[in-house]
Amino acid sequence: MMQPVRYSTGVPGLDACLGGGLLGGTLTAIVGASGIGKTQLGLQFANAGLSQEGRRGVLFDMSARIDPQSHAPYAERMFGWTIAEHAHDRFDASAAFASDRLVGDYLHVFERSGRRVTQQEMGFDAWHDWQAELNARLENTIDFFYSNFTRGARRVVVDGIEPADRPSESIQFELFEYIYHQVLRKEADWVARDLFRQSFRAQQAAIAAHHYDAGLVSGLLLITAHETLLDDLIERPLVDGDPLATANTLIYMGKIREGNKFARGLFIAKHRGSACSDEILRYAIDDAGLRLLDC
C-alpha cells in the first residue's frame, strides 16, 4: 500500500508529533491569538517546500482591518528569503508562461483600508462594496495561485483571518471558501479555463504542458482567535460555516500557565488519517522561528 505524501512543517520537533508531518493535499487550520507565533509557523511551513519540493510555498495575505502580518521582515530574518509581491493587476494570457515573467510569491488581496470584515459589522451597502471588490480581484488571485502552481509551488499559507463570531458572515471566510474549492482543490485544467476564458483554446497546448497535480497542493490557514489561553481554545465550540470543522488537521496555539508564569503551548486537536500526539506541547520562539520543547 502506497504511503501518503507527508509535508514537513519546518518546525523542529513538530513533524514527529504529527506522525511524520502534514498529509499532502489537505488543509490545516492553525488557530491562536495575535502574537502567538502563527505567522512564523506559516513561514516555516512555506520555506520547508524549498528542500522538500524544490520550491517554497506562497503567501496569501487576507488582512483587511489590521496591518499586514510582517511576512517580509520575518522571512528575511529567519531564512534570508526575500519575498516578492505578485503585482500583476491585469492577466495577460499571451505572456502567462513566458520564462521571463516575474511571478511573486506573496499577494495581499485587499486594500489596506481598515474596513470591517463581517456582515454583522457592516451595513447592506458596505457588504456589497466588499463583494464588488472581491469580484474585481478574483482574476488576479487565480493568476497568483495558478502561475505559482505551474512553476512548482505546492504549499499555500493563508494569513490574516480575523476573529468572527459567525464565520459564515465573514467576507474573509467567504473568499477563502471560494479559493479552496475553486482554485486549490480544483483540477488544473479547470482552473486554467476560469483564468484564460476565451483564450483557453489558443493556449491549450501550453496549459497541458504546464499541468500540475492539484491533489498535492496543501493549505495552511492561519486564524486569529479572541481567546489567548490554550484551554479556552480547546474548549471552544465549532459553529456553522466554521472551516475548522472541515480541515483535515487542526492545531491550537495559546498560553499555558506554569506556576506563576505563562508559557506557549500547542495542541493537535485532530489529524485525520494519521497518528499524532495527544499532549499539550510547549514551544519557544527565537530568531529562527518556532521549535518544540517537548517532542
CATH code of the domain in which 128 resides: 3.40.50.300
Stronger pLDDT, 181 or 87, i.e. the higher one: 181
Whose cell is 512548482? That residue is 152
Helices (H), the chain: 14-17, 38-52, 71-79, 124-149, 171-179, 188-196, 204-209, 230-235
- Asked if residue 76 is part of any domain, the answer here is no
- Please provide the distance, in angstroms rounded to a whole number, between the alpha carbons at the two ends of the chain: 28
pLDDT at 92 over 70: yes
Whose cell is 482591518? That residue is 65
Distance separating alpha carbons of residues 224 and 20, to the nearest angstrom: 26
- Asked if residue 89 is part of any domain, the answer here is no
| Backbone angles phi and psi of 155, in degrees to 5 | -120, 135
- Asked if residue 170 is part of any domain, the answer here is yes
Whose cell is 487550520? That residue is 29
The candidate with the shortest Cα–Cα distance to 175, out of 224, 234, 109, is 109
Continuous segment of H or E residues that includes residue 249 = strand 249-258
pLDDT at 137: 79
Domain span at residue 258? 6-65+99-292
What pairs with residue 191 in β-bridges? Answer: none
- Asked if residue 150 is part of any domain, the answer here is yes
- Asked if residue 82 is part of any domain, the answer here is no
- What's the pTM? 0.92
Phi-psi domain of 284 (left: phi exceeds 0; alpha: psi -120 through 50; beta: other): beta
- Asked if residue 85 is part of any domain, the answer here is no
The per-residue pLDDT for range 262-289, each reduced to its tens digit, is: 999 999 999 999 999 999 999 999 999 9
| Backbone angles phi and psi of 41, in degrees to 5 | -60, -45
Q: Averaged over 59-72, what is the pLDDT?
A: 78
Please say whether the beta carbons of 162 and 66 come within 8 A: yes
All three cell numbers of 161, joined, read: 483571518
Helix (H, G, I), strand (E, B) or coil at 139: helix
What pairs with residue 28 in β-bridges? Answer: 220, 249
pLDDT at 240: 61
Q: What one-letter code names the amino acid at 228? A: T
Stronger pLDDT, 77 or 162, i.e. the higher one: 77
- Asked if residue 131 is part of any domain, the answer here is yes
Please say whether the beta carbons of 133 and 125 come within 8 A: no
Q: How many domains does the chain have?
A: 1
| Backbone angles phi and psi of 288, in degrees to 5 | -95, 0
pLDDT at 169: 74
Stronger pLDDT, 121 or 147, i.e. the higher one: 147
- Asked if residue 262 is part of any domain, the answer here is yes
Distance separating alpha carbons of residues 195 and 144, to the nearest angstrom: 10
Q: Averaged over 189-207, what is the pLDDT?
A: 96
Distance separating alpha carbons of residues 295 and 292, to the nearest angstrom: 6
Distance separating alpha carbons of residues 282 and 268, to the nearest angstrom: 12
